[in-house]
Amino acid sequence: MNSADRLLTLLDLFSEARPEWTAEEMMAETGFARPTLYRYLKTLKSAGLIASVHGAGFTLGPRVTELDYLMQRADPVVAAGRDPLKTLAAIHPGTAFLVRWYGRKLLCVASEVSTLAPRSSYPRGRPMPLARGAISRAILAYLPKREQEAIGGENLAEFARAGSGETVEEIRATLRRVRRDGVAVAYGEVTPDVVGIAAPVFDGGPEPVAAVCLTVEETGVDPATLARLETAVKRAAQETSEVLGCGTARQSA
């Protein structure tokens, strides 16, 4: 690895499960020699990307918060989805999400809430499940066959628990149905007693860059209501895609 790769390796150590690391733990995990590790830690600390307090371990630093603020202002996907999300959330009590797809990760980057008691297990910034839920299927349905097979094979047990299939071919059959319908629906797969409805967002390319999702309480979602919400979600995703494809996403003030 070159120096940039090593710096990224250190940043990749931080996760929801392990938000704090000691230098000794980092050395054991990465195999870096102590002088090498401390050289890279000094660089990351100077940039504000990691921080440490005397007597405690290393955590992500304040520069990460600053970058998140800048992303919210500049990300064209967030800008394109802002108005469609508001419209979608107003249709039915629940939460409308815009979820980014990158590097085999699903990450909520924006949301609009229209209920007094929103129920969501995945706020902005927390990675979502790759093999469960409507958002996952809405994205995976449009990926190349080889990538579908790789993701399916690596996550067979979780796909099976979600009812998407017990073999790679069964999973691909499920994804073909989602692609045919243009929308994915999941009942309680991510959050108990919550229905998720999702559709893909494109920026002019053949593969999705994001998904729009509406989550609502399962109680009271009859077939007619579900059909109405599916249409609304597809419309929101289409509107977001159209803005991205035209390159006219408005920046926030």
- Report the 10 Å Cβ neighbour count for 119: 14
Q: Where are the domains of the chain?
A: 3-66, 75-246
Q: Sorting pLDDT into bands at 50, 70 and 90, what band is 53?
A: confident
Average pLDDT over residues 65-94: 93
On the question of pLDDT at 116 being above 80, the answer is: no
Among 216, 215, 211, CA closest to 241? 211
Least confident among 38-42, 111-115, 200-204: 111-115
If one compares 28 and 1, the residue with the highest pLDDT of the two is: 28
Q: Sorting pLDDT into bands at 50, 70 and 90, what band is 42?
A: very high
For domain 75-246, the question of CATH label 3.30.450.40 is answered with yes
Average pLDDT over residues 36-43: 95
Would you state the torsion angle of the CA atoms of residues 112, 180, 135, 253, taken in this order, to the nearest 10 degrees?
Answer: -40
Would you state the torsion angle of the CA atoms of residues 152, 154, 155, 156, taken in this order, to the nearest 10 degrees?
Answer: 70
Task: Tell me if 233 sits within 8 A of 198, measured CB to CB.
Answer: yes
On the question of pLDDT at 253 being above 50, the answer is: no
Top-level class of domain 3-66: mainly alpha
pLDDT of residue 54: 75
pLDDT of residue 247: 54
